[in-house]
Amino acid sequence: MKNHLEPALPTDLSNKRTSPSDLTDDAFLGGRLQLLQPRQGYRAGIDAVLLAAAVDANEAETGHLLDVGAGVGTVGLCAALRISPMRVTLLEREPELCRIATENIHRNGLDGRVRCLTGAVGTSAGQLAAAGLAIESFTHVVANPPFMSSNAGTRSEVHLKAASRTLQRGQSLDDWGRFFARMLRPGGTVILIHKADALTDVLTSLQGRFGAVTVMPLHPRAGEPANRIIVKAIKGRRTGLTLLSGLPLHGCGNTFTPTMDSVLRHAAALNLVT
């Protein structure tokens, strides 16, 4: 059987389906990180940076982080840039995006600590092992799971956008929770970001596998309903849930709050603590 979890090799993107003219070169973290990403389709933004900022540097410094559904590598690369010498593995089901992620690793000088593998939630333990990706070997897992189920609404005509936003057919968030637990060491931490109205599904996916769950609501502005949640949990813990005070992203107009500006532009941490 063909192994579907393969390292993405250094590549000349001009020889691939995504030509240089189909890519944009975007700055993150105030220009400290430069990322290629497809001009059309799903494009990384604030969610990815906030998720990476929620990784605790004290916990992760000597650990190994797995970014599941990594896309072009935004979350994992933001975390790697902020937390040295942490190692990072990017796991992305679309080979085209994994090729771009690998190019992003090279161009940001992170080859020694970051790699990208083509694979997905649901990859068998045998395939994981064949690719050198051992189960229960990660101290941290981060993910921005697709927001839409496979049968919800009309899929985007842009393949990579549909793949990034939509769960695979027959898959649910519970499958993602199971995969997180499989890859994490006992006591390891999972952190994910999702829509606020998916909180019930997120908590259900962690139930029985994780405890010490911490939820941080993210609000567009103070006084407005939360539209995102960041959820952190620890494998094997049995302690209960902590709901933190909500964090507004914007102040007056469209300007970011000082806290958000520090996270988005200056690579500050986003502490999920009580």
Structure tokens at 146: 């697709």
123 burial via Cβ count (<10 Å: 0-12, 13-18, 19+): buried
User: What is the identity of the amino acid at 37?
Assistant: Q
Break the chain into its structural domains and give their ranges. Answer: 1-47+72-122
Distances from the Cα of 29 to the Cαs of 41, 195, 242, 248, in angstroms?
22, 23, 29, 19
Indicate the angle between helix axes 173-183 and 199-206, nearest 10 degrees: 40
Residue 12's pLDDT is what?
41
pLDDT values of the chain reduced to their tens digit, one per residue, 274 residues: 333 344 443 444 434 456 677 999 999 999 999 999 999 888 899 999 999 999 999 888 889 999 999 999 999 999 999 999 999 999 999 999 999 999 999 999 999 999 999 998 988 888 888 877 899 999 999 999 997 665 555 444 544 444 545 676 678 899 999 999 999 999 999 999 999 999 999 999 999 999 999 999 999 999 999 999 999 999 999 999 999 999 999 998 889 999 999 999 999 999 987 5
User: What letter would DSSP give residue 223?
Assistant: T
Residue 41's pLDDT is what?
81
Residue 93's pLDDT is what?
92
Residue 156's pLDDT is what?
44
Is the C-alpha dihedral spanning 207, 209, 213, 217 positive or negative?
negative
